[in-house]
Structure 1
């Protein structure tokens, strides 16, 4: 029964999505923008530069990159721009 369920759900054909204007490549089910350059600062999708101390040493730089990336992706997806805490990411990290 479980095998049959997976066959029906996961092996069923999926209709391709219509191509949005300005997009031409598709990867992992997402249309990629190929319509030229875009400055996301003009769209308000980038938070201001924050002073980054070296409190964490070089091992904490991943948190700054991760927070900045998620902030921008969240805004580009149509949500309000938020500022995330790098320190919270570092504090919650187990390594």
Structure 2
């Protein structure tokens, strides 16, 4: 049985842009996220929130119910799993993480 997800259009508008071909979306997500795609959901969510909230760790720590240092450590760990530094392609990673949320 699947859990029901409720979203506003603002929540999914980015994902809808890529929804023309589910195969293409899956390929994009896999290519961009690499090993991060199979990492712990908490790690992916930390990176998603970090990017969505303009790369700041302190306010993000509150939103994620985690200490700032925990968020910093998670970001460092996630960057090791990505094929390139987050600063080089944060937009792509952010889009891939938003899409990933709605694919699973």
Give the TM-score normalised by structure 2. 0.23
Higher strand share: 1
Larger radius of gyration: 1
Higher helix share: 2
| Higher relative contact order structure (alpha carbons within 8 Å, sequence separation ≥ 6) | 2
